[in-house]
């Protein structure tokens, strides 16, 4: 009997449109001979499934089920494709955990930790597994003067939302005069801000997942942006970024990135497919952790699909593996 899969996308953040693109790729690459796929779109008002004929059905949130033509659909697992809240910050995972429904990503506590870049960085830094750039955590209701901030971090810095994705509201700041406006831009969308020292070097990204207890690292991708950094425009505008997969680096460098990503995945107790981003510092060759993305983008040209194809696997095989692994968790 075919298993029922809820493919959940949308969400409540500025990454809604990116999530919809992710869901399209996943839906197109799930084996329909093995699974019945029901794509459910979340927004702040509704959780809806839309049938092929356009009929919309609201999810019963009491047990996360659907009633279609007199039949109650119970899901065997949930493939989470929501970027940002509530699918990447642990809220939706906590709901599913309370209902006892399996899903394809990290659990609620891990998702909540990794979603906040500062809290995650502190855990990773304390482990000693990899270098982490110096940063400061600011709060809108008790922010610090620029002079105090610059006593703790050195320019240039990145100012970003600790709980944002896709580099939304992220600014590279080179002068003291530009620091407060960058912080205010973050406060316009979030109540906290992260100010992080810039590390000059090459940017790399790598997907990691676990199958039957064994960790697998996908091929490394180097991100070469035509802009000063890999911002929202560079990420989602064709031609703005050259993503080289596999990265053209020496084998020891690639192995170090892969092994470090695996250690971070284990350290944080991750599940499903995660993408870990690094900077290889230009002058020292030190590897710096940037962030971990527990619901990485899956549009056709996103990094993880590129890396999967570089292994010789199809996305159908890959997503089937993630679905089956969710039943073992």
pLDDT, tens digit, for every residue of 84-100? 999 999 999 999 999 99
Please tell me whether residues 85 and 116 are part of one structural domain: no
Percent of the chain with pLDDT over 90: 87
Question: For residue 234, what pLDDT is reported?
Answer: 47
Please tell me whether residues 126 and 239 are part of one structural domain: yes
DSSP string, 146-191: HHHHHHHS-SSEEEE-TT--TTTT-EEE-SGGGHHHHHHHHHTT-S
The answer to whether residue 322 sits within a structural domain is no
**Where does a domain end: 153, 172, 197?**
197
- The secondary element (H helix, E strand) that includes residue 216 is strand 214-217
Answer yes or no: are the C-beta atoms of 3 and 73 closer than 8 Å. Answer: no
Please tell me whether residues 207 and 173 are part of one structural domain: no
Of 289, 261, 250, nearest to 120 by C-alpha is: 289
Q: In what order do the strands lie in the sheet with 192-197?
A: 135-139, 192-197, 157-160, 171-173
The answer to whether residue 329 sits within a structural domain is no
Rounded CA separation 322/296 (Å): 13
Write out the residue range of the structural domain in which residue 164 sits. Answer: 135-197
166 pLDDT band, cuts 50/70/90, is: low
Answer yes or no: are the C-beta atoms of 162 and 194 closer than 8 Å. Answer: yes
233 pLDDT band, cuts 50/70/90, is: low
Question: For residue 86, what pLDDT is reported?
Answer: 96
Please tell me whether residues 120 and 264 are part of one structural domain: yes
Please tell me whether residues 213 and 166 are part of one structural domain: no
Rounded CA separation 96/77 (Å): 10
The answer to whether residue 299 sits within a structural domain is no
DSSP string, 17-59: HHHHHHHHHHHHTS-TTTEEEEEEEE-SS-EEEE-TTS-EEE-
Answer yes or no: are the C-beta atoms of 134 and 108 closer than 8 Å. Answer: no
Question: For residue 1, what pLDDT is reported?
Answer: 87
CATH number reported for the structural domain that contains residue 143 in this entry: 3.30.1490.20
The answer to whether residue 18 sits within a structural domain is yes
Residue 276 has pLDDT above 80, yes or no: yes
Angle at which helix 117-127 crosses helix 251-267, to 10 degrees, equals 110
Mean pLDDT of all residues belonging to the chain: 93
The answer to whether residue 300 sits within a structural domain is no
The answer to whether residue 29 sits within a structural domain is yes
Please tell me whether residues 204 and 193 are part of one structural domain: no
Residue 7 has pLDDT above 80, yes or no: yes
Of 202, 99, 195, nearest to 154 by C-alpha is: 195
Please give the structure tokens belonging to residue 127. Answer: 């482990």
pLDDT tens, residue by residue, 234-263: 444 566 689 999 999 999 999 999 999 999
CATH number reported for the structural domain that contains residue 251 in this entry: 3.30.470.20
Ranking 50-59, 116-125, 162-171 by mean pLDDT, the lowest is 162-171
**Where does a domain end: 161, 181, 197?**
197
**Where does a domain end: 197, 223, 251?**
197
Which residues, other chains included, contact 70 with Cβ-Cβ below 8 Å and sequence gap of 6+?
none
Question: For residue 227, what pLDDT is reported?
Answer: 58
How far is C-alpha 66 from the geometric centre of its chain's CA atoms? 28
Please tell me whether residues 127 and 48 are part of one structural domain: no
Rounded CA separation 261/68 (Å): 43
Q: Using CB atoms within 10 A of its CB, is residue 240 exposed (0-12), middle (13-18) or buried (19+)?
A: middle
Please tell me whether residues 166 and 273 are part of one structural domain: no
**Residue 277, CA atoms < 13 Å, CB-side half-sphere:** 22
Q: Which residue has the higher pLDDT, 143 or 257?
A: 257
Longest Cα separation, the chain: 65
Please tell me whether residues 230 and 218 are part of one structural domain: yes
Please tell me whether residues 290 and 193 are part of one structural domain: no
CATH number reported for the structural domain that contains residue 35 in this entry: 3.40.50.20
Question: For residue 239, what pLDDT is reported?
Answer: 66
Answer yes or no: are the C-beta atoms of 295 and 83 closer than 8 Å. Answer: yes
Please tell me whether residues 95 and 122 are part of one structural domain: no
Name the pairing type of β-strands 3-10 and 77-80: parallel
Number of domains in the chain: 3
The answer to whether residue 261 sits within a structural domain is yes
Q: What is the mean pLDDT of residues 34-54?
A: 95
Which residues, other chains included, contact 192 with Cβ-Cβ below 8 Å and sequence gap of 6+?
137, 138, 139, 140, 161, 162, 163, 186
Please give the structure tokens belonging to residue 215. Answer: 């960790």
Percent of the chain with pLDDT over 70: 95
Q: What is the mean pLDDT of residues 157-161?
A: 94
Please tell me whether residues 48 and 64 are part of one structural domain: yes
The answer to whether residue 321 sits within a structural domain is no
DSSP conformational letter for 218: P
């Amino acid at each position: 009997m075919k298993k029922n899969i809820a493919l959940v996308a949308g969400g409540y953040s500025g990454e809604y449109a990116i999530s919809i693109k992710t869901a399209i790729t996943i839906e197109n690459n799930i084996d329909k001979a093995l699974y019945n796929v029901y794509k459910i779109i979340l927004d702040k008002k509704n959780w809806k499934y839309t049938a092929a004929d356009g009929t919309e059905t609201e999810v019963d949130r009491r047990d996360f089920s659907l009633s279609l033509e007199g039949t109650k659909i119970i899901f065997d697992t949930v493939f989470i494709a929501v970027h940002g809240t509530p699918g990447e910050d642990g809220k939706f995972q906590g709901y599913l955990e309370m209902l006892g429904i399996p899903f394809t990503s990290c659990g609620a506590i891990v998702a909540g930790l990794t979603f906040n870049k500062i809290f995650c960085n502190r855990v990773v830094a304390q482990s000693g597994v990899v270098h982490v750039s110096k940063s400061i955590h600011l709060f809108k209701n008790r922010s610090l003067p620029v002079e105090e901030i610059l006593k703790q971090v050195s320019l240039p810095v990145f100012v970003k939302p600790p709980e944002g994705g896709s580099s939304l509201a992220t600014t590279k700041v080179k002068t003291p005069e530009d620091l407060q406006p960058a912080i205010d831009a973050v406060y316009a969308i979030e109540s906290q801000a992260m100010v992080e020292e810039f590390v000059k070097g090459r940017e790399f990204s790598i997907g990691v997942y676990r199958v039957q207890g064994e960790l697998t690292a996908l091929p490394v991708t180097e991100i070469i942006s035509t802009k000063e950094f890999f911002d929202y425009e560079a990420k989602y505008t064709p031609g703005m970024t050259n993503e080289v997969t596999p990265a053209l680096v020496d084998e020891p460098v690639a192995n170090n990135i892969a092994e470090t990503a695996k250690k971070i995945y284990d350290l944080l107790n991750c599940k499903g497919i995660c993408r870990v981003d690094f900077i290889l510092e230009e002058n020292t060759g030190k590897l710096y952790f940037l962030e971990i993305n527990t619901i990485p983008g899956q549009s056709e040209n996103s990094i993880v699909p590129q890396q999967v194809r570089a292994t010789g696997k199809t996305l159908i095989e890959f997503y089937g593996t993630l679905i089956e692994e969710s039943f073992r968790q």
